[in-house]
A and B are shown apart, each in its own frame.
Chain A
Amino acid sequence: DAGVIQSPRHEVTEMGQEVTLRCKPISGHDYLFWYRQTMMRGLELLIYFNNNVPIDDSGMPEDRFSAKMPNASFSTLKIQPSEPRDSAVYFCASRKSGGYTFGSGTRLTVV
């Protein structure tokens, strides 16, 4: 089991550019979560999916953020346009009936 796989590990982009973060959950897991971690706000839940359907996106900070899960093995989090305040580590996690498994995260820096 390769665990939850996120790409890229690091992303540096200029303000105004589009950024796409990717996540491959563990096979068979039916929940997928996107979190953002910053020093100021800690770990915040952005959105989560159940069986590829978005269930709660109340944590998505604004319309510049969007997330999709076109199939059970892939999800994306897109920021368009990006701003410096979006700089953070973004984690993806997946879950079945037991615990939650987190990916290694994507460290995003917007300059």
Chain B
Amino acid sequence: AQSVTQPDIHITVSEGASLELRCNYSYGATPYLFWYVQSPGQGLQLLLKYFSGDTLVQGIKGFEAEFKRSQSSFNLRKPSVHWSDAAEYFCAVGARNQGGKLIFGQGTELSVKP
């Protein structure tokens, strides 16, 4: 069965600093991979997704993620964080042969210092 691990429960970065959120997955084949963002009291917004092809994926709001098969990772990055990026971030994996149901990591809460 697939699973997702986000090792960092909470991260604080300064505004303008770079950001990397870690995500490791467990799945027997190449999965679908996603990053979602959730602001307090809101739903989940898709930042980016990886299905196949180029392993460096560009998303909305200046985010990107890189799929590394050898490390079973799909880390999210942003070169310069803005205060409005403070939110909770979820990595998710979808199994290609199970109707595409998404399994989520526990989330990483991002705080941004002025």
Residues of chain A having any CB pair with chain B under 8 Å: 31, 33, 35, 42-43, 45, 48, 50, 55-56, 91, 93, 95, 98-105
Contacts and interface: CB of A to CB of B under 8 A. Distances in A.
Q: Is the interface of A mostly helix, strand, loop or mixed?
A: strand
A101 B44 CA distance: 8
Interface residues of B, number: 20
10 contacts: A33-B102, A35-B104, A42-B106, A43-B104, A43-B107, A98-B49, A99-B34, A101-B46, A102-B45, A104-B43
Interface string B38-65: 0000111110010000000000000000
Contacts of A93: 44, 102
Nearest to B46: A99
B90 A48 contact: no
Contact of B103 (A45, A55, A104): A45
A106 to B, nearest CB: 11
Nearest to A55: B99
